[in-house]
Amino acid sequence: MPYTFNTPEDQQAMLDAIGAASIEELFAPIPSSLRLKRPLDIPAAMGELELTQHIQTLAAKNEHAGQKICFLGGGSYDHFVPAVVDAIASRGEFYTSYTPYQPEVSQGNLQVTFEYQTLICQLTGMDVSNASLYDGGSAAVEAALLCMSVTKRSRVVTTASVHPEYRQIIETYFTHLNAELVTVGSPDGVVSVEELANAVDDNTACVLLQQPNFFGCVEEAERVARIAHDRGALLVVSCDPISLGVMKRPGDAGADVVVAEGQSLGTPMQYGGPYLGIMACREQFVRRMPGRIAGQTVDRRGTRCWVLTLQTREQHIRREKATSNICTNQGLFALRAAIYLSALGPQGLREVSELCLQKAHYAIEQIVADDRFELAFPQPVFKEFVIRDTKGKVAEVLAECHELGILAGIPLAKWYPDLADCFLVTVTEKRTKHEIDQLADSLTRASVTDSVVSV
Amino acid sequence: MRNTRATQPIFELSKPGRRATRFPRPDVPARPIEDLLPEHCRAAAPPPLPELTEPDVVRHFTNLSTLNMSVDTHFYPLGSCTMKHNPKRNERLANLPGIADLHPYQPDETVQGLLQLLYELQDMFAEISGLPAVSLQPAAGAHGELTALMVAAAYFDDLGEKRTKVLVPDSAHGTNPASARMAGFDAVTIKSDPRGLVDLDDLRSKLDEQVGVFMITNPSTLGIFDDQVAEIADRVHKEGGLIYLDGANMNAILGIARPGDFGADMMHYNPHKTFSGPHGGGGPGAGPICVTDKLGPYLPSPVVCQRDGRFALDYERAKSIGRVRAFFGNVGVLVRAYCYIRTHGPDGLRRASENAVLNANYLLSRVKHFLPVPHGERCMHEFVATASELKKTKGISAMDIAKRLLDFGYHAPTVYFPLTVSESMMIEPTESESKETLDAFAEALFRITDEAADLLHEAPHTTPISRPNEVQAARNPVLKWTSC
């Protein structure tokens, strides 16, 4: 019982004050028939040393990105996190506080949220940002719901090149709502613009596009924006924040709502979460936006300060009429993103973005130097790309690379049966030339091993 | 000694040419960007972010942090939020590279230790709830509610039943009715009776074959265990409906009573409350759900399974509602919950709940003499006091008291919730506070109720700001910094 204070004497004194004979008596409102009459069947307590050794033993059974060279991406990335992010975010005043319900003792969090919102607007080129949502996937579905609410339309058109798990989430949410998700093909790695133009109709609330897309390819966002806007639909762009050091901001390319997975901005991969759902939109939609929003005001003495605002959108006020059921934001990761972006500034973001771009292209050259491997799609890419194994032995090749200490890529068969001979490779700024050369060598060696086996 | 210069908005500290983080030149042959990216997607310039040095960044955010109250620094009796101690060991362990630096799409054989932890956590959550099937995927309590309601909808679809309504008590969290609507149900409110429990007559009149789910928070947001829960479950089950338990208040009953044993078919935990995950200034949380065996097949995919001594992610789930979140879930939060449960063991969890309830009852016994607690002499883990008498006699509101508490160095209780009690103050001390702290807090509350109304109307007096103009903030929203 490392975290409780009450000694037996304290307990007795407290019971006396309450007028109860025992702690047991305090639980009298729970009928005996509903009680658990045995101890919970869970493992016995551990002290800090035992627990530490136990978790260390479990952690040692995992192969982490500091041990294996990580070329995995697909929405979660091994980017560099400056020490200043960890140093500040590990302050107890930040991570052990809660939602700023009392602004007088939460100005730290509120100002950080306001700064985060501003930084996200600067990053995406949008008018307003909320205080964040759960992650990139939930931000995408909330954006779709926002567009349906704004347009009073019930159809969402997306593309096969949008993250397959994001599309699965939208499918799940739409099952019991009066809403339809239409997915347009991306046969050449980017959405078929003709097919998209046919799919967008007068009942389409929005087009959901990913930029760069799940295959790493660059979409023609402005053309897609025109197609959507011509039919009175909105454009939602799910973007990679790191790409915005070199790529056009979605807000400058016609997006009405921008969402993103913010993990890249200073949050470790943690096997998938918790992450940071970024959402920003045009000013006219702000009152339909889900989630918390911080705003500037003055206090009774006229001092500039910050509060949670526009709360009549939210569930604790509006209950079933709220814009969403969402309650929490990801305050700690919004803080990390704010520190990250402040530490990098425009030039730092430009550098990390360019490093990803250059290294990814170098990696492509090295990999396709072996005739067995080819770039699956003839498109410009940012930091990810799809490689086709012309011998179609993706599982074997990736396993061989793993033996050589490299997590070489993500097989695509699970989501794209017609891309069963392909895998997705990601190159962040952390990957050195030497590591990229090792990747290419390993793929080549896997290729040789494989031909030996097949003889 | 406040450094007000450092806490100016960070944009006002910016100066062109400064920065904290510099990356190396590419170690690969660099090509012109024009050759790599087409013109239509190239940025003319990088985003107009602020430009700062590392000392700027450190001083700015460090000084901002000192403007927060937190569990590490203050007593934080925020009802319904279970602001208990956040163990430091959990932070260190969740940040081990063997956990923090794992990619979600790594092959199962490279994450056996983590999958084992998550598998054991599924089992422990099942045992604590008495509900055997578990999904760790939902990202927060409200997300867990929504997921469970989708599970219920899929279950009814499978039975060929069309059920359109979800019943929600008027004292429930606002997320309950909002989640019901997002899962495609109509939310119908059930009144509370004079004791603050579910009004059985109102329930009887609204319960029919259209009702899919009854959502109950037990112990309730009033800190009362609704002893009618088995009868309610019985009635709802007889009509073919399901019981959902909002697990926000599980801190009262760990090892003492299990939702699965008192009639619940589905529930969520808030690991950031009950199992000590830090609240992070408003997140992250997690919202794992537990359901009965018959609802298990509908849970989101994947779940962690064990096959031949190896752990794996199981996607082969034909009846699953699908995904509600990308990747596995809020693993970092779940690892902390695992550490908390393993630190306590069966006796420790039970004693944590016993002390949480003892602390709440003790504080109730000290407070009720000057701040009435309408719903009873006893409580579970929290209680709801009312300032409505003070409001009538002295013009002192719950908000005035909350604000004045800040001057005494205490975070305020939750005020004006639940909506069923006027001028409500919801107080939850948790088990990780001492009798001395509770005595001092009660003393402060008592002194405040005796203070002049004018002093309270302008409270707090010692905080960096006081009584921000929230009406102006909403009427004329300023949601980002601009240079003019």
- Residue A364 in domain: yes
pLDDT number for residue A451: 56
Q: Which is nearest to A277 in space by CA: A331, A229, A225?
A: A331
CA distance B130 to chain A (A): 9
Please tell me whether residues A230 and A131 are part of one structural domain: yes
According to the CATH classification, is domain B89-343 in 3.40.630.10?
no
Alpha carbon distance A383, B147 (integer Å): 34
Q: A201 to chain B nearest CA, in Å?
A: 24
Contact status, residue A112 vs residue A306, Cβ threshold 8 Å: no
Give the nearest partner residue to B327 out of A112, A272, A345, using CB atoms. A272
Calculate how close chain B gets to A454, using CA atoms only, in Å.
Answer: 25
Confidence (pLDDT) at A454 = 43
**Confidence at residue B285, expressed as pLDDT on a 0 to 100 scale:** 96
Is A44 among the domain residues?
A: no
> Tokens representing A10?
């304290």
In chain B, what residues touch A43 (CB-CB under 8 Å)? Answer: 342, 345
| Residue contact A105–B69, C-beta within 8 A | yes
Contact check, Cβ <8 Å, B150/A175 = yes
Q: Is A92 on the interface with B (CB under 8 A)?
A: yes
Query: Are A345 and B52 within 8 A, CB to CB?
Result: yes
> In degrees rounded to 5, what are phi and psi of residue A112?
-60, -45
Cα gap A216→A190, rounded to integer Å: 9
CA distance B463 to chain A (A): 6
CATH number at residue A420: 3.90.1150.10
Between B69, B96, B341, which is nearest A55 by CB?
A: B96
A233 domain residue, yes or no: yes
From B43, B103, B478, residue closest to A295, measured CB to CB:
B478
**What is the mean predicted confidence (pLDDT) over B81-94?**
97
Rounded to the nearest angstrom, the minimum Cα separation between B395 and chain A is 19
- What number is the average pLDDT over the span B222-228? 96
What's the Cα-to-Cα distance from A138 to each of A262, B327, B405, rounded to whole Å? 12, 11, 37
Asked if the Cβ–Cβ distance from A177 to B184 is below 8 Å, we say yes
**Three-state SS annotation for chain A:** CCCCCCCHHHHHHHHHHHCCCCHHHHCCCCCHHHECCCCCCCCCCCCHHHHHHHHHHHHHCECCCCCCEECCCCCCCCCCCCHHHHHHHCCHHHHCCCCCCCHHHEHHHHHHHHHHHHHHHHHHCCCEECCCECCHHHHHHHHHHHHHHHHCCCEEEEECCCCHHHHHHHHHHHCCCCCEEEEECCCCCCCCHHHHHHHCCCCEEEEEEEECCCCCECCCHHHHHHHHHHCCCEEEEEECHHHHHCECCHHHCCCCEEEEEHHHCCCCCHHHCCCCEEEEECHHHHHHCCCCCEEEEECCCCCEEEEECCHHHCHHHHHHHCCCCCCCCCHHHHHHHHHHHHHHHHHHHHHHHHHHHHHHHHHHHHHHCCCCEEECCCCCECCEEEEEECCCCHHHHHHHHHHCCEECCEECCCCCHHHCCEEEEECCCCCCHHHHHHHHHHHHHHHHHHHHHHC
Tokens of A152: 């009073």
Q: Which CATH superfamily is B349-470 part of? A: Aspartate Aminotransferase, domain 1 (3.90.1150.10)
- List chain A pLDDT tens, one digit each, 455 residues: 689 999 999 999 999 999 999 999 999 999 999 999 999 999 999 999 999 999 999 999 999 999 999 999 999 999 999 999 999 999 999 999 999 999 999 999 999 999 999 999 999 999 999 999 999 999 999 999 999 999 999 999 999 999 999 999 999 999 989 999 999 999 999 999 999 999 999 999 999 999 999 999 999 999 999 999 999 999 999 999 999 999 999 999 999 999 999 999 999 999 999 999 999 999 999 999 999 999 999 999 999 999 999 998 888 888 888 888 888 889 999 999 999 999 999 999 999 999 999 999 999 999 999 999 999 999 999 999 999 999 999 999 999 999 999 999 999 999 999 999 999 999 999 999 999 999 999 999 887 766 544 43
Average pLDDT over residues B245-263: 97
Q: How far is CA A75 from CA A31, A82, A164, A240, B325, in A?
A: 49, 20, 10, 8, 12
Residue ending a domain, among A290, A314, A340, is A340
At B376, the pLDDT band (50, 70, 90 cuts) reads confident
Whether B79 shows a pLDDT value over 70: the answer reads yes
Distance from CA of B268 to the nearest CA of A (A): 15
- The answer on A196 and A126 residing in a single domain is yes
**Residue matched to tokens 């088995």:** B230
Mean confidence (pLDDT) of chain B: 97
| Pick from B288, B270, B294, B268: nearest CA to B135 | B288
Give the pLDDT of residue A450. 61
Would an 8 Å CB–CB cutoff place A175 in contact with chain B?
yes
Residue B200, token pair as written in the block: 């059985």
pLDDT of residue A1: 67
Same domain, A225 and A314: yes
Task: Please name the residues between 219 and 258 in chain A that touch chain B, using a CB distance below 8 Å.
Answer: 219-222, 244-249, 252-253
Q: How far is A232 from chain B (nearest CA, A)?
A: 23
Contacts of B315 in chain A (CB under 8 A): 414
A293 and A442 together in one domain: no
CB contact under 8 A, B47 and A30: no
Closest approach of A438 to chain B, Cα-based (Å)? 14
Contact A72, A401 (CB under 8 A): no
The string of pLDDT tens digits covering residues B255-266 is: 999 999 999 999
- Report how many domains make up chain A: 2
Of the partner residues B281, B357, B361, the one whose CB lies closest to the CB of residue A97: B281
- Domain closes at, from A306, A323, A340: A340
Q: Quick one: A355 and A334 in the same domain?
A: no
Is B65–A325 a contact, with Cβ atoms under 8 angstroms apart? no
One domain for residues A256 and A376: no
* Residue of A98, A305, A322 lying closest to B282 (CB–CB): A98
Q: Which residue type does A169 have? A: I
Same domain, A327 and A285: yes
Q: Shortest Cα distance from B436 to chain A (angstroms)?
A: 9
For B88-137, what is each residue's pLDDT tens digit? 999 999 999 999 999 999 999 999 999 999 999 999 999 999 999 999 99
Q: Do A274 and B50 touch (CB under 8 A)?
A: no
Looking at the structure, tell me whether residues A372 and A283 fall in a common domain.
no
Residue pairs spanning A and B at CB distance below 8 A: 701
Q: Residue B86 CB: number of other CB atoms within 10 A?
A: 23
A427 shares its domain with A283: no
Delimit the domains of chain B by residue range.
Answer: 10-65, 89-343, 349-470
- Chain A residues 346-385 within an 8 A CB cutoff of chain B: 346-355, 357-359, 361-362, 380, 382
Interface check A97 vs B, CB under 8 A: yes
Q: Which of residues 402-441 of A touch B (CB under 8 A)?
A: 402, 407, 410, 414, 429, 432-433, 436
**CB B463 to CB A105 under 8 A?**
yes
- Find the residue in B nearest to A352 (Cα): B23
Which residues 114-153 of chain A have a CB within 8 Å of chain B? 114-115, 117-119, 121-123, 125, 128-129, 131-132, 134-138, 145
Task: Provide the domain limits for residue A383.
Answer: 69-77+345-454
Same structural domain for residues A187 and A279?
yes
| CB interface of A with B, residues 45-84, below 8 Å | 45-46, 48, 51-52, 54-66, 68, 70, 72, 74-76, 78, 80, 82, 84
For the segment B26-59, what is each residue's pLDDT rounded down to a tens digit? 999 999 999 999 999 999 999 999 999 999 999 9
Residues of chain B found within 8 Å of residue A270, distances taken between Cβ atoms: 99-100, 102, 331-332
Domain membership of residue A193 (yes or no) is yes
Cβ neighbours of A342 in B, within 8 Å: 10, 20, 49-50, 52, 57, 60
Pair A370, A236 in one domain? no
Contact A268 B100 (CB under 8 A): yes
- The pLDDT of B230-242, averaged and rounded, is 97
Q: CB–CB of A39/B346 below 8 Å?
A: yes
Q: How far is B243 from chain A, CA to nearest CA, in Å?
A: 15
Question: A198 and A153 in one domain?
Answer: yes
- What b/e sequence results for B315-333 when a residue is b if at least 16 CB atoms lie within 10 Å of its CB, and e otherwise? eebeebbbbbbbbbbbbbb
pTM of the full structure: 0.98
Record: contact A327-B332, CB cut-off 8 A? no
> Across the interface, which of A114, A166, A327 has its CB nearest the CB of B175?
A327
Residues of A in contact with B154 (CB under 8 A): 175
Q: From A310, A340, A370, give the residue that closes a domain.
A: A340
How far apart are the CA of B389 and the nearest CA of chain A, in angstroms? Answer: 23
Please, are residues A357 and A383 in contact by the beta-carbon 8 Å criterion? yes
CB contact under 8 A, A314 and B174: yes
Mean pLDDT (whole number) for B294-299: 98
